[in-house]
Amino acid sequence: MSYFLKQTKVYGRVYLQISETVYNKKTKKSSNRCYKKIGYLDDLASDKMPDPVAYYKEEAKKLNAKRNKELEETKARKIGEDPTRNFGYFIVKSLYNTLELEKELYPFKYMCDFTYPISSLIEALTYSRIVSPCSKLRTFSEVIPYLYEEYDFSLDQIYDGLNYIGGEYGKFIEAINCCIDRKYGRNTSKSYFDCTNYYFEIDFEKDDRQKGPSKENRPNPIIGQALLLDGDGIPLNMRMYPGNESEKPKIRELIKEMKEQNGIKGKTVQVADKGLNCGDNICDALLNKDGYIFSQSVPQLEEKEKKWVLLDNDYEEVRDGEGNLLYKIKACVDDFPIRVTDGKGRKVTVKVRQKRVATFNPSLAAKKKMEINRLVEKAKGLCHSEAKREEYGESSKYVKFVGGDGKKASALINQEKIDKDLKYAGYNLIVSSETNMSKREIYRVYHQLWKIEDTFRIMKSGLDARPVYLQKRESIYGHFLICYYAITLLRLLEEKVYKNVFSAYELIDLIRGFKLFKGEDRNINLTKKTANVAKLCEMYKFNADYMYLSSSQTKKLFKLKYKTKQPLH
């Protein structure tokens, strides 16, 4: 809960009230409610109070200070009352030790005037995000005290720290990249790129929180996030941007930034979906002596190319061990036209040499046809009920709206559009600069894009990166930097330490499952034994069956380091 001065325009006048943000544990959402009504700004201004806004902002600040003091007292009581602790995050802490991130982040102490090490704050917030993701207020009062190690930060220090690291988030990404490259190396022969966005529980646009095409189809303001993964699926870079900006230029910016920061001279093959496929991105990749593998929408191709995709000739069938058809694939190499922006900002057509790989997937075709039929049935029902235009949602693409006042309109089913989508169901096209790469290899590399989609899924669901309730731009970026650190460490564990024995999802469950009852000289193990817990404990020579754990045994886990040249044994 926090207090702030809310200014609302009512018929041209500004109305002031002090509001408080409250968190609902059942809905897991925050909302604002009025704490104190003040009045209209023009009525409040007087000789005694020349600036009512500044006066009541100060009052809200005092209320927050009082609340923080009470929370710190509550925190102290909770630590004494509830001795249950999570110690599963030693898995991540050991990687933090291995990377020597604390040493890498130490110089930041001299860049800011904090009385505490910024590395410790990043550690506490990263571990908390994995152990129990929630608001910063609850992280301070409930999660940090629940960690086995003690981290002593006030709520104000957490907010100030987030504000600082968010303002410098590019430097912190560079720091962790330096550690990863030094200890494990990087596979930059390929890079996977995609963008997503996150919504905010606010009504009006502010700073980078702008209304744009939301991935969740929500009307709220959003902020964009561009993410770059290396060839092993480990995050390599991140860029935040306003929600109303196009995502297409971001791949050029991040690839350039990645190469400059890491001194990469060789060729990098950029892999992205059709949302990032445009002439300027293709041209930029070729000018920088890089390659690309992009998908392309079949219905948007020229007629000659559509016919080639649909023609059964030359398709090679790929079947599983039981003879079931997995997919069909064919390829051709030719000079194809693309539209690029010239030096004067004009669009011109140029031809580039490309390998085009067409595929047909029967499972995808069946799924796509089912989705189309579902939307068509929905559209038919809404047409009969004379529903409002906005009620159609995605099904509106199969409807023709005729006349009406914009609220209710006569609607007809667009059979031509339905037939067209059904015809292309299951077909996909991949375009690539890699003319010497086999069609199956291009197909395989492109389909590794699931890793970046999975990374976004973990950030949004497993780490609860959304919705975001922070107000300041820098604090918001700080929140996403912590999420970036968390998913990067999880992916490193998954790929480099455990060699895919555990997935990132399984690692999160493992970390959250290790609990103990903290005593003065020994701890009681509250961890529920599962197959994965047994497997992990065997790796660490740690007996999960023990009821009692000495403090020295537990502390030893938090001092571990992983081998960097070979998998953990």
- pLDDT at position 566, please? 45
Decide if 435 contacts 353 (C-beta within 8 A): yes
Which position has the token pair 């509106």? 396
What number is the average pLDDT over the span 225-241?
A: 90
The residue among 80 and 369 whose pLDDT is bigger is 369
* Contacting residues for 242 by C-beta, under 8 A, at least 6 apart: 207, 208, 209, 210, 212, 223, 224
Q: Of 91-95, 144-148, 195-199, 447-451, which gets the smallest average pLDDT?
A: 195-199
pLDDT more than 70, % of the chain: 92
Question: What contacts 24+ positions apart, CB below 8 Å, involve 212-221?
Answer: 212/242, 212/243, 212/244, 212/245, 214/243, 217/393, 217/394, 220/467
Which residue spans within 203-266 are E strands per DSSP?
222-229, 235-242
CA 529 to mean position of chain CA atoms: 31
Express each pLDDT in 168-194 by its tens digit. 999 999 999 999 999 999 888 888 988
Question: CA-CA distance, 510 to 518, in Å (whole number)?
Answer: 19
User: Taking the domains of the chain in order of start, what are their residue ranges?
Assistant: 2-80, 365-424
- pLDDT at position 217, please? 65
Express each pLDDT in 258-303 by its tens digit. 778 777 777 889 899 888 888 889 998 898 889 999 999 998 888 9
* Contacting residues for 423 by C-beta, under 8 A, at least 6 apart: 310
Residue 242 has pLDDT above 90, yes or no: no
Render the burial of 388-422: b for 16+ CB within 10 Å, e for the rest: eeeebeebbebbeeeeeeeeebebeebeebbeebe
Confidence band, pLDDT 50/70/90 cuts, at residue 216: low
Confidence band, pLDDT 50/70/90 cuts, at residue 166: very high
Angle 459-455-563 from CA coordinates, rounded to 5°:
105
Express each pLDDT in 122-153 by its tens digit. 999 999 999 999 988 889 989 999 999 989 88
Residue 349 has pLDDT above 80, yes or no: yes
Question: CA-CA distance, 487 to 223, in Å (whole number)?
Answer: 19
CA 59 to mean position of chain CA atoms: 36
Residue 569 has pLDDT above 50, yes or no: no
What number is the average pLDDT over the span 413-434?
A: 93
Residue 328 has pLDDT above 80, yes or no: yes
Nearest to 453 by CA among 182, 142, 123, 215: 215
Provide the residue type at 519 as one letter.
Answer: G
What number is the average pLDDT over the span 359-384?
A: 91
Nearest to 90 by CA among 565, 536, 563: 536
Nearest to 169 by CA among 475, 458, 508, 515: 475
Six-digit token pair at 290? 């890089």
Decide if 494 contacts 500 (C-beta within 8 A): yes
- pLDDT at position 472, please? 85
Beta pairing class for 427-432 and 325-341: unpaired
What number is the average pLDDT over the span 443-447?
A: 93
- pLDDT at position 213, please? 67
What secondary structure, in 3-state letters, does 355-389 show? EEEEEECHHHHHHHHHHHHHHHHHHHHHHHCCCEH
Which position has the token pair 């780490």? 463
Angle 108-111-116 from CA coordinates, rounded to 5°:
60
Residue 28 has pLDDT above 70, yes or no: no
Segment (H or E) for 293: strand 291-296
* Contacting residues for 263 by C-beta, under 8 A, at least 6 apart: none
Write phi, then psi, for 259 (nearest 5 degrees): -70, -40
Nearest to 514 by CA among 66, 92, 32, 48: 92
Beta partners for residue 130, in sequence order: none
- pLDDT at position 209, please? 66
- pLDDT at position 555, please? 86
Residue 407 has pLDDT above 60, yes or no: no
Residue 42 has pLDDT above 80, yes or no: yes
pLDDT more than 90, % of the chain: 42
Angle between helices 90-99 and 504-513 (to 10 degrees): 120
Confidence band, pLDDT 50/70/90 cuts, at residue 553: confident
Q: Of 55-59, 427-431, 463-467, which gets the smallest average pLDDT?
A: 463-467
My answer on whether omega of the bond before 235 falls inside 30° of 0, hence cis, is: no
Six-digit token pair at 210? 């702008």
Question: CA-CA distance, 417 to 399, in Å (whole number)?
Answer: 9
- pLDDT at position 76, please? 59
Six-digit token pair at 147? 């960690």
Nearest to 335 by CA among 319, 311, 351, 323: 351
* Contacting residues for 496 by C-beta, under 8 A, at least 6 apart: 184, 232, 234, 564
What secondary structure, in 3-state letters, does 25-84 show? CCCCEEEEEEEEEEEEHHHHCCCCCCCHHHHHHHHHHHHHHHHHHHHHHHHHHHHHHCCE
- pLDDT at position 568, please? 42
